[in-house]
Amino acid sequence: MSLLELRGVSGGYGPVQVLHGLDLTVDEGEVVVILGANGAGKTTTLRAISGMLDDVSGNVFFDAAEITSKAPQAIARAGISHVPQGRGTFGDLTVEDNLRLGAINRRDGGVESDIARWYETFPRLAERRTQAAGSMSGGEQQMLAIARALMARPRILLLDEPSLGLAPLITREVFERLGQINKEDGLAMLVVEQNASLALAIASRGCVLETGRIVASGPADQLMADETVRKAYLGF
């Protein structure tokens, strides 16, 4: 069984059904990308996984255990860290306090060494460790959101459009770091992203979501070569 597995997942907001029977898997150590136009249901898919959607039917399995509709805290404790769109860091708190909050559920002694480790991966966070998170640039805040999620020592990272609002150079850097973390730690990731070429470059597989249904899926290089995908999401 895959690390994360969605079987026939449907759901939405009250009377509005957004997802229509999604099947999706992420294996241990794998990066999978979800592409799709605005409103296709990408964010809703991540919310269905992390317990933030009220009406979910079908099944979500994580590490062979069913987690469908469990409380967000329980799902986070099971090893799923969600970096939401808009990042969700605490703007008034320092960089370092945000990182500590990411480890709030941990009872092991490795928090300090993990902070040092992520400062090494994201040197700009180290330089700004005593600065209020909200005073940093968008790119730095995105890196903080990722580092904070990593502080929970997750087994999978859910990332919702990490490139949103970032300059191209910074977006590139964010994806380079994600690719590096995936390679070094073998950390699985499920990435929702509009910047298809950068996301597919670090992914092994991807899928395209259209009005809550998966309309194409396959290995990243195949999707990259697919003419429909290229026209719609890669712009060439």
The binding site for ligand ATP (CB under 6 A) comprises 13, 16, 18, 36, 38-44
CA-based nearest residue to 62, from 167, 170, 154, 180: 154
Q: Give the strand order in the sheet containing 55-62.
A: 16-26, 4-13, 55-62, 65-66
Smallest separation, CB 211 to ligand ATP (Å): 8
- Token pair 């290995």 is found at 219
Between 8 and 39, CB nearer to ligand ATP: 39
Between 83 and 151, CB nearer to ligand ATP: 83
Between 137 and 211, CB nearer to ligand ATP: 211
Q: How many Å apart are CA 131 and CA 140, to the nearest integer? A: 11
Smallest separation, CB 214 to ligand ATP (Å): 12
Residues 6 or more apart whose CB falls under 8 angstroms from that of 94 comprise 129, 130, 131, 132, 133
Smallest separation, CB 12 to ligand ATP (Å): 7
Between 131 and 194, CB nearer to ligand ATP: 194
H helix or E strand, kind and range, residue 144: helix 138-150
For residue 192, which phi and psi values (nearest 5 degrees)? Answer: -90, 125
Between 140 and 161, CB nearer to ligand ATP: 161
Smallest separation, CB 212 to ligand ATP (Å): 7
Structural tokens at position 78: 């099971």
Smallest separation, CB 96 to ligand ATP (Å): 30
